[in-house]
Amino acid sequence: MIDYHIHTLLCNHAQGSMESYIRSAINLGMNEICFLDHLTLQESEKGLSMAPGEISYYFQAVQLLKQQYKEAINIKAGLEIDFNPAYTDLFQEIVGTYAFDVVASALHFPGGLNIVSGSSAWRRGENNTDYVYGLYYEQLEKMLDFNYFDVICHIDLIKKFGRKPSRSFDKEFNEILLKIKTKNLCVELNTSGYNHPVREPYPSPEMITKCHEIGIRMTLGSDAHTPAHVGQHYDRALPLVLSAGYNYLTTFTKRRGSKVPIT
């Protein structure tokens, strides 16, 4: 089994050493993990991310641990980049500088609006729900115009706090999925949604099935910010993947995807 979304202390909102995450994965019998720490360049949210100047240290730390634990588990190095159209040139430069195994893109701040923090206006029920949903999917589609990433993290993160729009956004979502298929990108099944008011993974069970019908590759991650959360809720999420028709997940080595059977 794999966990392709694990954070480190460098993001400033995780707990535990990198080795503690590795040991947790080994204790769970995992075959492979990927450190996928945050890179956020939006000025107001930079404190929730490693700084660009820390990327070299992060990358080298993962390489050292990869060698140290190579007999016990495969360890990969990745980045979770917060999409911001103002910084795409810098994103391209960064991913071209380091030999990451996988680069993921995520949308935490559509139009500069924080939709993830427990203290955000969005969490408190402020902001117009339909407007923010529309903004989210508009920005998500715009993100797909760029080519610096391989995986899309928690694709329907907008639902995190259980807020529901007054109209369906299925049309927008389906168009995004078709674009993902055209670009041969991979969607992450992120199990952290079970910890939040929405109480389901990202994407939803219905969208997991839709991804399979369209032929979109899928990887799997816990979004662990503490060692105890490595592999969290897999007992609930894996049956959804299997029932949707998937019999394999996607892993990455130097930005190239491979199929691994679901075990």
pLDDT score for 214: 97
218 phi and psi, to 5 degrees?
-135, 140
- Residue 4: strand, helix, or coil: strand
DSSP string, 243-255: HHT--EEEEEETT
Q: What single-letter amino acid sits at 165?
A: P
CA distances (Å), origin 99, targets 62, 66, 103, 107, 139: 12, 14, 10, 23, 27
Interatomic CA distance for residues 37 and 57, integer angstroms: 12
Per-residue pLDDT tens for 228-251?
999 999 999 999 999 999 999 999
115 pLDDT band, cuts 50/70/90, is confident
Per cent of the chain over pLDDT 90 is 89
Does residue 91 come out as left (phi exceeding 0), alpha (psi in the -120 to 50 range) or beta? alpha
Pairing state between β 248-253 and 217-221: unpaired
What is the value of pTM for the model shown?
A: 0.95
Q: What does the mean pLDDT of the chain come to? A: 95
The domain defined by 2-261 folds into TIM Barrel (3.20.20)
- Residue 156: strand, helix, or coil: coil
116 pLDDT band, cuts 50/70/90, is confident
CB 12 within 8 A of CB 55: no
Residues in CB range of 24: below 8 A, 6 or more apart = 224, 227, 228, 230, 231
Buried b (16+ CB within 10 A) or exposed e, 3-29: bbbbbbebbeebebebeebbbbbeeee
C-alpha closest to that of 38 among 63, 65, 9, 17:
9
Residues in CB range of 88: below 8 A, 6 or more apart = 146, 148
CB 223 within 8 A of CB 154: yes
The number of beta carbons lying within 10 Å of the beta carbon of residue 1 is 17
Interatomic CA distance for residues 140 and 45, integer angstroms: 19
Per-residue pLDDT tens for 33-47?
999 999 998 765 667
Per-residue pLDDT tens for 152-179?
999 999 999 999 999 999 999 999 999 9
Domain ranges of the chain: 2-261
Per-residue pLDDT tens for 119-149?
677 777 778 899 999 999 999 999 999 999 9
pLDDT score for 121: 76
Instruction: Please give the biggest Cα pair distance in the chain.
Output: 52
Interatomic CA distance for residues 201 and 10, integer angstroms: 25
C-alpha closest to that of 35 among 61, 7, 63:
7
Scan for tokens 């927008």, then name that residue: 172
